[in-house]
């Protein structure tokens, strides 16, 4: 048994074998990061300065956009703040990872970590300068934002965290119950 079944809020399960899931978190993070980095390298070298490529008519297109802000281009003057937020997210995930025994949480946190690292890499190493670099976005959905694969990993990881939380699952493999009262 890899994950404790019927764990208490403290996470104690007598006789249950527990395995940390840091390896899973790191593999998922690395895959998300490399897929994002590879996608950005491909579109920058093959698409930048060119007309958008239609993938599904006008609904989904590929086009390179340099984004200094957050989602929907908001906060263009706050690039350094987004760099600090991404760094803080990475630190928090690393702290949670020390007590990570849940496979679903490892996947969720790996997606968040890989996505945060992908966008942080852009912020650190892309123009216009260190800590102020613009993120490469390239997936355009009609009537929506232009985003990248790191953003997709962050959103999927975030949705999974919310679902796991609603299920009562904790990163340490324990479960919590809603408090019933009158």
pLDDT score recorded for residue 156: 97
Round to whole Å and give the CA distance between 147 and 36: 11
Which position among 36, 122, 137, 172 bears the catalytic label?
137
Buried residues in 40-51 as b, exposed as e (16+ CB within 10 A): beebeeebeeee
pLDDT below 70 — which residues of the chain?
Answer: 1-17, 71-73, 177-182
Q: Say whether 58 is catalytic.
A: no
What would the pLDDT profile of 88-141 be if each residue is shown by its tens digit?
999 999 999 999 999 999 999 999 999 999 999 999 999 998 888 999 999 999
* CB contact at 8 A, 123 and 86: yes
The pTM of the full predicted model, rounded to 2 decimals, is: 0.84
Q: Say whether 151 is catalytic.
A: yes
Which position among 36, 122, 151, 172 bears the catalytic label?
151
């Amino acid at each position: 048994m890899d994950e404790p079944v019927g764990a208490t809020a403290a996470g104690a399960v007598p006789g249950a074998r527990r395995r940390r899931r840091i390896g899973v978190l790191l593999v998922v993070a690395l895959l998300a990061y490399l897929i994002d980095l590879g996608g950005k390298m491909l579109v920058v070298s093959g698409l930048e300065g060119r007309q958008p490529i239609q993938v599904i008519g006008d609904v989904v297109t590929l086009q390179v956009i340099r984004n200094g802000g957050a989602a929907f281009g908001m906060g263009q003057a706050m690039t350094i703040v987004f760099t600090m937020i991404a760094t803080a997210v990475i630190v928090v995930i690393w702290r949670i990872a020390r007590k990570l025994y849940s496979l679903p949480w490892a996947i969720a946190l790996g997606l968040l970590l890989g996505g945060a690292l992908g966008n942080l890499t852009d912020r650190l190493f892309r123009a216009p300068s260190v800590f102020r670099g613009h993120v490469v976005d390239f997936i355009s959905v009609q009537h929506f934002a232009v985003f990248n694969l790191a953003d997709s990993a962050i959103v999927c990881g975030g949705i999974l965290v919310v679902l796991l939380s609603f299920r009562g699952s904790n990163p340490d493999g324990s479960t919590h119950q809603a408090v019933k009262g009158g």
